[in-house]
Amino acid sequence: MIDQHGRTIRYLRISVTDRCDLRCRYCMAEKMTFLPRAKLLSLEEIAVIAERFIARGVTRIRLSGGEPLVRRDVADLVHRLGSHVGHGLDELTMTTNGTRLAEHAGSLAAAGVRRINVSLDSRDPDRFRHITRHGDVDQVIGGILAARDAGLSIKINMVALKALNEDEIGPMLAWCIAERLDLSLIETMPLGAIDEDRVDRFLPLTTVFDRLSADFPLHRAGHRTGGPARYWQVEGTQTRLGLISPLTANFCDGCNRVRLTTEGKLYMCLGHEDQVDLKAALREGGVKALDAAIDAGLATKPARHDFRIARGMAPAVTRHMSVTGG
């Protein structure tokens, strides 16, 4: 699959649910309206669509949400897609907030998942509870350690938030080194209306990297996972540092991704509203209509997103991150 700008699409991100058991302040409003279950793709439909993408050349699939592990029977989907690893699919991964990871780590590993991303913006219990509005950081850390013990490779995703967790970034990297984990830092993205102005929390990763370079021996690494992160190796350790900088270092030239929502909409770009309805295509016309809808979507994939943050500025798109998937 090749888009109108000549980029080969090999990466599908699937949001299996827009629901989440946390309410992170930079991601969601405190009071969210979620899709009624009747509007969601069934897990069988998600599997059929994913398998069509694999047949057409997608080699990486990431399951996300919301929080993917809150969806009932999601393990069945993981096992079905995991059966394609080594048979057209190079990798099946997941992004999770970690709250239910201790329960599911063993089954994820058994299904063929080898690598997961865990969102963790603070290890301080009170600050974590503030950011997530009610989360228990010990529960998440317990899940991370259980996943590591199950043999999963783990990358911590940390959104860099000015005057909120920026003093924890260095200690988070030190903790990841001690626990043999990778760390990716992410700039806050203007997606969906939230209860505060994002400009107050925007922390450029150019600034963060300069600070970290003063304390850690960082060397550019050629490592790639198929996503937008640029990686540095922490010399003398197993830990890599990734930077995802949608505002200060645009990464769209090499974009190889499309995103399927739990409602069946295929978005070609996180920062644009253009989408095609794969659920309707599948239900009304089967695989042939599904292929036509995918082709129509690829023909509209934009060259780049247009993320900007300024005081009082409306978000780039109205949907929240939990709708499109991380």
Q: Which of 112-121, 140-149, 312-321 has the lowest mean pLDDT?
A: 312-321
Based on C-alpha coordinates, what's the Rg of the chain?
19
pLDDT in tens, 242-253: 998 766 656 666
Q: Dihedral sign for Cα 115, 118, 124, 125, please.
A: negative
Query: How many angstroms separate the CA atoms of 208 and 169, rounded?
Result: 8
Given a contact cutoff of 8 angstroms between Cβ atoms, the answer to whether 31 and 66 are in contact is no
| pLDDT at position 310 | 52
At 30, the pLDDT band (50, 70, 90 cuts) reads confident
At 217, the pLDDT band (50, 70, 90 cuts) reads very high
CB atoms within 10 A of CB 190: 23
Arithmetic mean of pLDDT, 275-289: 97
Domains of the chain as residue ranges with CATH = 11-324 (3.20.20.70)
The residue that leads in pLDDT, 247 or 298, is: 298
Please list, in sequence order, all residues whose beta carbon lies within 8 angstroms of the beta carbon of residue 180, skipping any fewer than 6 positions away: 148, 238, 239
| pLDDT at position 223 | 75
Q: Is pLDDT at 193 greater than 70 in this prediction?
A: no
At 246, is the secondary structure helix, strand, or coil? coil
Q: Is pLDDT at 314 greater than 60 in this prediction?
A: no
At 270, the pLDDT band (50, 70, 90 cuts) reads confident
| pLDDT at position 237 | 97
Instruction: Count Cα neighbours of 137 within 13 Å in the Cβ-side half-sphere.
Output: 13
For 293, phi then psi, to 5°, come to -65, -40
The residue that leads in pLDDT, 157 or 312, is: 157
The residue that leads in pLDDT, 31 or 298, is: 298
Selection from 224-233, 244-253, 298-307 with the highest mean pLDDT: 224-233
pLDDT in tens, 67-101: 999 999 999 999 999 999 999 999 999 999 999 99
Please list, in sequence order, all residues whose beta carbon lies within 8 angstroms of the beta carbon of residue 288, skipping any fewer than 6 positions away: none
Averaged pLDDT of the chain = 89
Distance of CA 304 to the CA centre of its chain: 18
Query: How many angstroms separate the CA atoms of 44 and 27, rounded?
Result: 28
**DSSP notation for 57-101:** T--EEEEESS-GGGSTTHHHHHHHHHTTBTTTBSEEEEEE-STTH
pTM: 0.89
Please list, in sequence order, all residues whose beta carbon lies within 8 angstroms of the beta carbon of residue 167, skipping any fewer than 6 positions away: none
Block residue for tokens 């827009």? 18
Please list, in sequence order, all residues whose beta carbon lies within 8 angstroms of the beta carbon of residue 50, skipping any fewer than 6 positions away: 12, 14, 58, 61, 81, 260
